[in-house]
């Protein structure tokens, strides 16, 4: 079974530029998550989708971050304009959405803002 796919793996941009990350969840998984992991910290949930609807985006900085999952499968996370403090690993994860189901993580997209 293929895992959660993310791209690009690494990205370096200057502050005030924009960047987009792509995620393809495990086939059939209804729930998709984007987490932000800053160096030395645990992952923090940015947004959770159930199919193509947003379940929780309370910690998403909406003035600069946006995410979509138009067809209920792939998802894109965008940052515009980027700030230095956005340097982090952006982890995509998915689960079947059933109660107590395991959440599977991708390898992450590493962003450095200079």
Partner 1 sequence: AQSVTQPDIHITVSEGASLELRCNYSYGATPYLFWYVQSPGQGLQLLLKYFSGDTLVQGIKGFEAEFKRSQSSFNLRKPSVHWSDAAEYFCAVGAGTASKLTFGTGTRLQVTL
Residues contributing to the site for partner 1 (CB under 8 A): 4, 31, 40-45, 48, 55-56, 91, 93, 95, 97-108
d(CA 111, CA 35): 13
**CB 30 → partner 1: shortest distance, Å?**
10
Nearer to partner 1, 61 or 97 (CB): 97
**CB 101 → partner 1: shortest distance, Å?**
7
Nearer to partner 1, 17 or 74 (CB): 74
Distance set, CA 22 to CA 33, 41, 50, 98, 101 (Å): 12, 23, 17, 24, 23
d(CA 53, CA 107): 24
Nearer to partner 1, 82 or 106 (CB): 106
Nearer to partner 1, 82 or 95 (CB): 95
The 3-state DSSP class for residue 1 equals coil
Beta bridge partners of 13: 113
**CB 16 → partner 1: shortest distance, Å?**
27
């Amino acid at each position: 079974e293929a895992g959660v796919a993310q791209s690009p793996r690494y990205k370096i941009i200057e502050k005030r530029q924009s960047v987009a990350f792509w995620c393809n969840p495990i086939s059939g998984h209804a729930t998709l998550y984007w987490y932000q992991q800053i160096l030395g910290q645990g992952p923090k949930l940015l947004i959770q989708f159930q199919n193509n609807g947003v379940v929780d985006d309370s910690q998403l900085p909406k003035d600069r971050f946006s995410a979509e999952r138009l067809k209920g499968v792939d998802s894109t996370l965008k940052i515009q304009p980027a700030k230095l403090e956005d340097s982090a690993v952006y982890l995509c994860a998915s689960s079947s959405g059933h109660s107590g189901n395991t959440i599977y993580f991708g390898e992450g997209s590493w962003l450095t803002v200079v």
